[in-house]
Amino acid sequence: MSSLSRPTSRCQTLALAAALILWAVPDGRAQACSQTQNTPSGKLYWTESDAQVLRSSNFDGSGVQTLFTSPNNGLLGIAVDPVGGKLYFTDDNSLSSGIRRMNLDGTLVEMLVPGGAPTGITLDVGAGHMYWTDAGSIGTQEIRRAQLNGAGVTLVVGGLGDPIDIEVDPSAGKLYWTDAGTGKVQCSNLDGSMVTDLATGLGVAAALRLDTDYDKLYFSSVDQGKVWRMNTDGSGLETLISGLVGLPYAIAIANGLDLMLVCEAGLGPGIGTVTAYNTDGANPKPLHTGLNNPVDVVLWHDPLPPLHGDVADVCLAVGASQRLFLDAKPAHAGKVYLMLGSASGTTGIPVDGLTLPLTFDAYTVLSLNRPSPPFVGFLGILDSVGRGEAKLLVPPSTDPSLAGIVLSHAYLVLDLVAGKAVFASNAEQVQLIP
């Protein structure tokens, strides 16, 4: 690997001050500190059946808008086509039932498939198909398929108990669904053949979400108050959340952000919630409260850069951290990564024909030595889809004179066989605040 040039004298003073993070100087302060979240550009969408509305908000819960109001309660499933700029949603009330489509801002509402009792819905945009579960009447509970414009309705799987939610994996050629009537998660081929039980004994199985990056299924049981995760072949079952009393009807996953949303309908009017968790079920944080029987939630966000931090600042007084999410894509799965930092900017360091967007300084040297804290996971191996995670950990009562310094971090992906760096990420910044 190419050698790195020495820091210029112009930036050494600032860099050395940043390096003092290692040697926290207690000053007796005790105060609360609120970090600024790095919220990706995107939207949440959810239905509130009893309020007869479909709503949206920003990723952080702000900017709530009502996009569609139904004359009857019965709004259920949602699917998003961000490329086509469309929302698809279901309504199982007999007075207004069917599958509709509208623009992401709620304009140009179209009825695509009138009638039936559709519940969950999922899209295979590449093939131009939508799939949905239909609760119907006894003996007619089934899964159907149509073109995205509603034409060509076809029966895919029949004779089900009470199918609720559904997901499609076009690359694997599979459909997955929950069945509240039989307490199962099941799958089939896209043509409905080879119906297979993946999980049983779930009671009122409801929510289902597919993480195609890691071949995982997330699902819930309303009466058991649990959220589980398993591999798409049914192996590796894990209980993520238990003891939920608010009827967990829906789950959403944000790939690359370690974010899972759980939608609880509540046991009465105005007490439904949407709560954010890590994807392992840890760190619950209320996102929306006071909802009226929310029964589905979906989210989408713009593509994230190869390096993304969860916060924009860290507090020196109380101590805090910035989680750094790495995504070098599957082409670099299993390779070694090395995270480095700068306290002087992002002018660029040439490395093996690449440019690492950092200014070499004393903080770069410090990060290269990787003492922990503050550098956690700054050297590691990318997982099976080319992802990883590192953390900048600032101890409590760190020297207040460091406030105002902006630290930049970026990483290299190393090919140990070729003996060189093969990928350089973007720079992600964080400011030290009192």
Looking at this protein, which amino acid is placed at residue 85? G
Pair 268, 366 in one domain: no
The rounded distance, in Å, linking the Cα atoms of 116 and 163 is 13
CATH number at residue 406: 2.60.40.10
Residues 76 and 97: their CA atoms lie apart, in Å, by 10
In a domain, residue 405? The reply is yes
CB neighbour class for 227 (10 Å; exposed up to 12, middle 13-18, buried from 19): buried
* Sequential DSSP letters for 352-376: TTEEESS--SHHHHHHHH--TTTEE
Tell me the whole-structure pTM to 2 decimals.
0.85
**Six-digit token string for 148:** 């995205």
For 72, counting Cβ atoms within 10 Å of its Cβ (0-12 exposed, 13-18 middle, 19+ buried), the class is: middle
Tell me, yes or no, whether 60 and 16 share the same domain: no
Amino acid at 234: G
Strand partners, 244: none
Q: Which of 1, 53, 60, 4 is nearest to 254 (CA)?
A: 60
345 plus 426 within the same structural domain: yes
Three-state DSSP at 152 gives coil
> Do 130 and 52 reside in the same domain of the chain?
yes
Q: Which of 234, 238, 217, 214 has the alpha carbon at shortest distance from 226? A: 238
Q: At what angle do helices 9-19 and 362-369 cross, to 10 degrees?
A: 40
Cα atoms found within 13 Å of the Cα of residue 406, Cβ hemisphere only: 10
Domain total in the chain: 2
Of 301, 318, 339, the position where a domain reaches its end is 301
Among residues 105, 116, 176, the alpha carbon closest in space to that of 146 is found at 116
Q: Which of 261, 276, 301 is a domain's end point?
A: 301
What span, in angstroms and rounded, lies between the C-alpha atoms of 72 and 93? 7
Instruction: Check whether residue 211 and residue 96 sit in a common domain.
Output: yes
Q: What is the DSSP annotation of 184-214?
A: EEEEEETTS-S-EEEE---SSEEEEEEETTT
Q: Are residues 166 and 243 in the same domain?
A: yes
Q: What is the pLDDT of residue 256?
A: 77
The residue from 301, 323, 347 where one domain ends is: 301
Select from 310, 232, 244 the least CA-distant residue to 278: 310
Q: What is the per-residue pLDDT for 139?
A: 59
DSSP structural state of residue 305: P
Q: Is 4 a member of any domain? A: no
* Domain identity same for 338 and 395: yes
CATH code assigned at 142: 2.120.10.30
Instruction: Let me know whether 291 and 323 are in one domain.
Output: no
Q: Say if 1 falls within a structural domain.
A: no
Quickly list DSSP for 116-149: S-EEEEEEEGGGTEEEEEE--STT--EEEEEETT
Give the DSSP letter of residue 160.
-
* Residue 110 three-state SS: strand
Tell me if 120 sits within 8 A of 132, measured CB to CB. yes
Same domain, 167 and 212: yes
| Domain enclosing residue 285, as ranges | 42-301
Q: Are residues 218 and 351 in the same domain?
A: no
- What per-residue confidence (pLDDT) applies to 373? 81
Per-residue model confidence as pLDDT tens for the chain (434 residues): 333 333 334 443 344 344 444 444 444 444 556 778 887 788 999 999 999 999 999 988 899 999 999 988 889 999 999 889 999 999 998 888 999 999 999 999 999 999 999 999 999 999 999 999 998 765 579 999 999 999 999 999 999 999 999 999 999 999 999 999 999 999 999 999 999 999 999 999 999 999 988 899 999 999 999 999 999 999 999 999 999 999 999 999 987 788 999 999 988 889 999 999 999 999 999 999 999 999 999 998 888 899 999 999 999 888 889 999 999 999 999 999 999 999 999 999 999 999 999 999 999 999 998 877 899 999 999 999 999 999 999 888 888 888 999 999 999 999 999 999 999 999 999 999 98
The tally of CA atoms less than 13 A away on the side-chain side of residue 157 is 28
